[in-house]
Amino acid sequence: MTDTAVQQLRDIREQWGDLLTAIARPPAPEWPPRELRHSLDGDDTTEWPPRHGRGYIDPGDPADRPRIGRLPLVLRQHPAPANLDALDAALSIEADLFDLADRIAAAHQSTTVGRDDPDRWHYAGLRHLDRRAPIATAGSRALGLHWAACWIEDRLDQTEPTDLHGVVRGVLRDHAERVTAQAHTTLARALGRDGRTTVLADLCPWCGGELTARTTSGDPMAATITCGSGPMCTAPAPYDDRARRTWHGRDLVQLYGALSAARSAA
């Protein structure tokens, strides 16, 4: 159970940059997801697989602005505006995990030992006690969600008490696991990585069939696109278990190229 919570916290901080970027982006849903599009556009300077865990990224970072020069594939159905969803999700995840860190620190962090230890969680608003806090009134919250998630991970991973931190057990551990699972779900939902299925506006370039995209948690390369025509479709892609042409992983590059060509020809 705790392994799950630790992994979920890791997922949350690895995808945090994506969520912050999503807040600053226009609300139009699109496929492929931004990270995948970098790769499909043949941008050799883009690392693949995308490197996550980049910490607290300012949503205004020019490097993370949507790319221009190639139209995204617009989905047929438009869910609620992605930017507001992303903002709500980010605010709720931050509030919940900061609160969780406060609770764990209150229960299991020494008030007397290791006052200068970088591993200490500092409460918000304690400037009179800690004048060296980077942003005095925000305490450790000033270091951002990424650091808070790391700190909670360490607490949940810890099996032996140290001078600074006791072991998190019992009711508080259950609470930590619940909060983490909820934050994980909120993030996946906000990024459309909760197994959502969407019908693409573009038709299959080989047979004109309907293309359905399915994204799964966390990994943009785990997106799968299926042509609804079944074995009639002549696309050079493997069948899934229901004999439908299916693109996955690197095969998506070929599909994306064919879709772009069909669009320019239109």
Footprint on this chain of Zn ion (rule: CB under 5 A): 204, 206-207, 209, 227, 229, 233, 235
Shorter beta-carbon distance to Zn ion: residue 13 or 245: 245
Shorter beta-carbon distance to Zn ion: residue 38 or 245: 245
Q: How far is the CB of 248 from Zn ion (least distance, A)?
A: 15
Q: How far is the CB of 36 from Zn ion (least distance, A)?
A: 20
Q: How far is the CB of 223 from Zn ion (least distance, A)?
A: 17
Query: Phi and psi for 214 in degrees, rounded to 5?
Result: -130, 125
Q: How far is the CB of 225 from Zn ion (least distance, A)?
A: 10
Q: How far is the CB of 256 from Zn ion (least distance, A)?
A: 14
Q: Are 228 and 209 in contact (CB under 8 A)?
A: yes
Shorter beta-carbon distance to Zn ion: residue 149 or 259: 259
Shorter beta-carbon distance to Zn ion: residue 1 or 243: 243
Shorter beta-carbon distance to Zn ion: residue 125 or 208: 208
